[in-house]
Amino acid sequence: MVKDQVFLENKASYCLELAKKLGASDVSVIVSNSISETVNFRNKKLDESNRSDNLSIDITTYVGKKKSSISSSNLLNENLNILLEKCIETTKNTPEDEFNSLPDKDLLAKEVKDLNLYDDTNLKNDHKIDYLKKLEASAAFDKKIINTESSFTQNKSNFILANSEGFCDGYKTSSFTASSVTVAKDENSMERDYEYSSKCHLEDLEDAEKLGKLAADQTIRKLSPKKIGSEKISIIFDKRIAKGMLSAFASAISSSAISRGTSFLKDKINQKIFADSINVFDKPDILKGLGSRSFDNEGVKTDTLKLVDNGILKNYLIDTYNGKKLSLKSNGRCGGASNLYFENGSMSYKDLLNSSSKSLYITETIGHGSNIVTGDYSVGATGFLVENGEFKYPINEITIAGNFKDMFQNITLANDLDFKYSTNSPTMKIEGMVVAGK
């Protein structure tokens, strides 16, 4: 059972009061507790089971425009006394930074919305094992599958964020995550793929048999891949890969990257950076959303942001410190985006596949090839050749490359968006990317 709010609040209040007595002009404290239980299977046999219980405190103290932070997993008052003395001493010896401060008081959240993020179901290990047995049996249904790995993780957490401006709030969250990794082999190749499901509530988790079969099917269809030559071609990104474009976009519009001048989207507010049909939202109040929250890591209230409106960049993701550098107010994005997504396109998945006579459908990318300073993008990839809307054969050992400045302008989205992750995209087509093959 995770620690209750009263325990966490008491520890936070103790630190706030002591820090002020020791000379801090402002203080921020986060006290959190998380309990995680994981069961792993390998080739239909129990591999390991473990449990972790993490209790931690993070303290940030200010003396004027000086700031420092300290953290610990020991929440005994004697230890907190030592921590705070050290933190205040370090703060006094830290150089001043004119942008150091707590968030403006009027930006702090006034209430915590009930976003239905916590399921108090406590699944026993025997039930996790039963789920994984079904998953493994389903994943190994075909003789081409030669190796399976699966896991089930239950996580429960609670936290309190408090500061010397009078803010003190927090809430519980839970997650249930199941995954399946399979390896398939035929006379020509050995391939690997995966599938997973993660939900706030146990009842919403993917059925074990379905999850295992999805992982196996996706692996088997990659067998006996062919190599293709280099060319300029339309690329269709599967939804689980397309969301990576949004992750790169979020990094490029973070106020830290913008304030440092290390983003290709610096000074692009109110300029067209995507195709006209593209809209991007960050919505923190989706019920049961994996990225949902009532306030950010500083306690600033969060509201839905329309980041891109008909291709035009409208907002950055702004925290307090970098916002002050940019002369902008925080919009509750300390810690990054919440539930980030492309709005659905107008074309069906089938029509998107048929929109080019020949294209590559990418199901996996290899390496971290996004450079947000220049916008350059280059990754290894595997997927399928598509001709006239039909999947012809799997392909591998290719590299796809482009620059986000051009790629964003040439995006077409299908209308098959679902909220499977915290960052989500419909199936995506980008015209005219460069493919390097054999």
Among 168, 199, 220, residue at a domain's last position: 220
Same domain, 109 and 156: yes
Same domain, 106 and 157: yes
Same domain, 353 and 307: yes
Residue 322, pLDDT > 90, answer yes
Residue 226 domain-assigned (yes or no)? no
Residue 167 domain-assigned (yes or no)? yes
Distance, in Å, from the CA atom of 3 to the CA atom of 393, rounded to the nearest integer, reads: 53
Same domain, 59 and 106: yes
Using pLDDT thresholds of 50, 70 and 90, give the confidence band for residue 111: confident
Burial class (CB in 10 A: 0-12, 13-18, 19+), 139: buried
Count CB atoms within 10 A of the CB of residue 11.
21
The answer to whether the CB of 191 falls within 8 A of the CB of 363 is no
Residue 74 domain-assigned (yes or no)? yes
Across the chain, mean pLDDT equals 96
Same domain, 181 and 295: no
Among 198, 220, 242, residue at a domain's last position: 220
Work out the percent of the chain whose per-residue pLDDT is above 70.
Answer: 100
Residue 302 domain-assigned (yes or no)? yes
Per-residue pLDDT tens for 50-84? 999 999 999 999 999 999 999 999 999 999 999 99
Per-residue pLDDT tens for 93-102? 999 999 999 9
Predicted pLDDT of residue 317 = 98
Predicted pLDDT of residue 233 = 92
Among 220, 243, 273, residue at a domain's last position: 220
Residue 242, pLDDT > 90, answer yes
Residue 393 domain-assigned (yes or no)? yes
CATH number of the domain where residue 92 is located: 3.30.2290.10
Phi–psi pair at 228, nearest 5 degrees: -125, 165
Same domain, 284 and 197: no
Same domain, 237 and 215: no
Residue 428 domain-assigned (yes or no)? yes
Same domain, 239 and 361: yes
Residue 181 domain-assigned (yes or no)? yes
The answer to whether the CB of 281 falls within 8 A of the CB of 258 is no
Per-residue pLDDT tens for 133-191? 999 999 999 999 999 999 999 999 999 999 999 999 999 999 999 999 999 999 999 99
Same domain, 165 and 313: no
Same domain, 32 and 108: yes
Tell me the mean pLDDT in the region 260-265. 97
Predicted pLDDT of residue 368 = 81
Count CB atoms within 10 A of the CB of residue 71.
12
State the total domains in the chain: 2
Query: Which residue carries 């590559």 as its tokens?
Result: 360
Same domain, 113 and 209: yes
Using pLDDT thresholds of 50, 70 and 90, give the confidence band for residue 431: very high
Residue 300, pLDDT > 80, answer yes
Distance, in Å, from the CA atom of 90 to the CA atom of 124, rounded to the nearest integer, reads: 45
Per-residue pLDDT tens for 328-359? 999 999 999 999 999 999 999 999 999 999 99
Using pLDDT thresholds of 50, 70 and 90, give the confidence band for residue 1: confident
Which distant-in-sequence residues (6+ apart) come within 8 Å of 219 by Cβ? 145, 182, 183, 184, 191, 192, 193
What's the Rg (C-alpha) of the chain?
24
Residue 293, pLDDT > 90, answer yes
Residue 369, pLDDT > 90, answer no
Which distant-in-sequence residues (6+ apart) come within 8 Å of 8 by Cβ? 31, 32, 33, 158, 159, 160, 170
Per-residue pLDDT tens for 380-416? 999 999 999 999 999 999 999 999 999 999 999 999 9
Domain that residue 110 falls in? 5-220
Distance, in Å, from the CA atom of 261 to the CA atom of 275, rounded to the nearest integer, reads: 24
Distance, in Å, from the CA atom of 392 to the CA atom of 386, rounded to the nearest integer, reads: 6
Same domain, 304 and 278: yes
Predicted pLDDT of residue 438 = 72
Distance, in Å, from the CA atom of 219 to the CA atom of 183, rounded to the nearest integer, reads: 7
What string of H, E and C letters represents the secondary structure of the chain? CCCCHHHHHHHHHHHHHHHHHCCCCEEEEEEEEEEEEEEEEECCEEEEEEEEEEEEEEEEEEECCEEEEEEECCCCHHHHHHHHHHHHHHHHCCCCCCCCCCCCHHHECCCCCCCCCCCCCCCCHHHHHHHHHHHHHHHCCCCCEEEEEEEEEEEEEEEEEEECCCCEECCEEEEEEEEEEEEEECCCCEEEEEEEEEECCHHHCCCHHHHHHHHHHHHHCCCCCECCCCEEEEEEECHHHHHHHHHHHHHHCEHHHHHHCCCCCCCCCCCECCCCCCCEEECCCCCCCCCCCCECCCCEECCCEEEEECCEECCCECCHHHHHHCCCCCCCCCCCCCCEEECCCCECHHHHHHCCCEEEEEEEEECCCECCCCCEEEEEEEEEEEECCEEEEEEEEEEEEEEHHHHHHCEEEECCCCCCCCEECCCEEEEEEEEECC
Residue 225 domain-assigned (yes or no)? no
